[in-house]
Structure 1
Amino acid sequence: MPRYPVLRPVSRPRTRVDAHVKVLDERVVARAKDRGIDALVYAPHFTRLPTIRERATRYSDDELTVVPAREVFTGDWGNRRHLLALGLSEPVPDYITFEGAMAEFDRQDAAVLVPHPAFASISLTRPEIRAHAARLDAVETYNTKLLPHQNARAQRIASEEALPGFGSSYAHLVSTVGEAWTAFDAELDDADAVVDAFREGRPRTVVHRGGLGHRLQGLVEFAHIGYENTWVKADRLFLSGDEPTLPSNVAYEGRFDDVSVYR
């Protein structure tokens, strides 16, 4: 009988990106590598882009790429809309108008992602996403911090608006890193390649861990919202007047005074 070669499936290169984390240190790097994550998008609150870039470079190596990004707060504290911007070349402050932020992202050709859509008073609503869909590159369809019905709603929004999805741990705690990720069907070698993949709408799959441990970790992260949204942060922010990401900070040289929501 003739013998035929055994055909084995060819594995395609993939890159697993935890597309939004707030923490970064040696423990985060070790956790990400242990979870098989290839890249982290690092976007801490109230931190200027040069500082984020420096930390991203410090913790990147041949096994893990850290992509510097900014989650910009548009609008005022009580009615803010978060936008996740990757690939920025210059700093953009918080607490500027939505249009002011989008114009700056357009000017810098940044990838603009929508984190936790339609969540509380801190996210783009469904009508806002529909109105600006042509200017948005992806909608977060799985966020470890959110509850199942909230993630299901996000998936419906992305589907209805024909926007690519993305997934992240949204880790504010080291133990949450790598609980969810975006798996791109390509080998993304550096931060620029990750940004391009989002900007160009490359094929991807949103994946998350399962089981009771995953759900409990999500609930722990969800409880952290209580601190995030207290006026304690707002008081510290506005009473000091010189926080790093306020448009009035001297570092911005008055460039955003005309779109600042606080005068």
Structure 2
Amino acid sequence: MTFRVDPHVKILDERVVERAKARGLDALVYAPHFTHLSDVEARAERFSDDELLVVPAREVFTGSWRDRKHVLAVAPSDPIPDFVTLEGAMAELDRQDCATLVPHPEFATVSFGAAELAAYGDQLDGIEVYNPKHRTGHNERARALAGDTGLPPFASSYAHLTPTVGEVWTAFEEPFETADGLAAALRAGEPRRVFHRPGRRHRLRCHAEFAHLSWENTWEKFERVVLKGQEATHPRNPAYEGRFDDVAVY
């Protein structure tokens, strides 16, 4: 038996949980965009049970719209905002007791590349080598980067759409009962293997997820979510008490 984890999903509700269980998953890592850690943790706890562990996480949106990099923090101990410099985000994640992963390397304009991997390699605990939004060349390049850096691989559904849940998973040799247990295993580089479902239906799921990028990466969405108010993950939100003002980019 292995412990099957989907290390990055964007959605979480009854249908997602039902599908994850039906597909034989043991854990989901839930990291929605632009959502305060306290809300992520509360929702993860609500949907966790004896059959499925839901782990809270934050995919931190660093930098500005024109120079943005995503980094995935699994089970962070404290809230961290979006729209801070990459240096500021990495310094904060280094302070916290969480696992720091590289999602979708060199993908679109939102990812770590070779330069960032070299600069922060000693702080990173894993690199994604497969997700349905990738094209074949992206997956090949991600595997090459994993080989070059020696970072442990992981694969996720990166699901923004419910039917994608359970299409991809990372299998560990030992089970984990808590979010901190999974984070500790990621930090320790525990043995794992990556899998995805084969066949035409899986390819269709991949195409649907890729098409979803047309909304995810529009300026209109960014402007609506980020620039018109004090969102929960805006670095100048009063909840952060000015701690990130010196590294905020907006």
TM-score (norm: length of structure 1): 0.93
Following TM superposition, by how much is the alpha carbon of 1:47 offset from its aligned partner in structure 2, in angstroms? 0.3
Q: Deviations over 1:64-93 (max 9, x none)?
A: 000000000111012100000012111000
Query: Which segments of structure 1 move beyond 2 Å, counting only runs of 4 or more?
Result: none
The aligned counterpart of 2:134 is 146
Question: Are the counterparts in 2 of residues 241 and 249 from structure 1 also a CA contact under 8 Å?
Answer: no
Q: CA separation in 2, counterparts of 1:35 and 1:53?
A: 23
Following TM superposition, by how much is the alpha carbon of 1:199 offset from its aligned partner in structure 2, in angstroms? 1.0
Q: CA separation in 1, counterparts of 2:17 and 2:227?
A: 35
Task: Decide which structure has the larger Cα Rg and report it.
Answer: 1
Q: 2:25 aligned with 1:53, yes or no?
A: no
Q: CA separation in 2, counterparts of 1:131 and 1:191?
A: 28
Q: CA separation in 2, counterparts of 1:136 and 1:261?
A: 23
The aligned counterpart of 2:201 is 213
Alignment length, in residue pairs?
A: 250
Residue segments in structure 1 that go unaligned for 5+ positions in a row: 1-12
Q: CA RMSD in A?
A: 0.9
Residue 178 of structure 2, aligned match among 190, 208, 225: 190
Q: 2:159 aligned with 1:204, yes or no?
A: no
Question: Are the counterparts in 2 of residues 20 and 43 from structure 1 also a CA contact under 8 Å?
Answer: yes
The aligned counterpart of 1:27 is 15
The aligned counterpart of 2:25 is 37
Q: Deviations over 1:6-49 (max 9, x none)?
A: xxxxxxx4210001000000000000000000000000000000
Which amino acid in structure 1 is aligned with residue 138 of structure 2? Q
Following TM superposition, by how much is the alpha carbon of 1:112 offset from its aligned partner in structure 2, in angstroms? 0.4
Residue segments in structure 2 that go unaligned for 5+ positions in a row: none
The aligned counterpart of 1:230 is 218
The alignment-based identity, stated in percent, is 58
Question: Are the counterparts in 2 of residues 137 and 199 from structure 1 also a CA contact under 8 Å?
Answer: yes
The aligned counterpart of 1:115 is 103
Q: Deviations over 1:145-188 (max 9, x none)?
A: 11111111101101111110001000000000011011011111
TM-score (norm: length of structure 2): 0.98
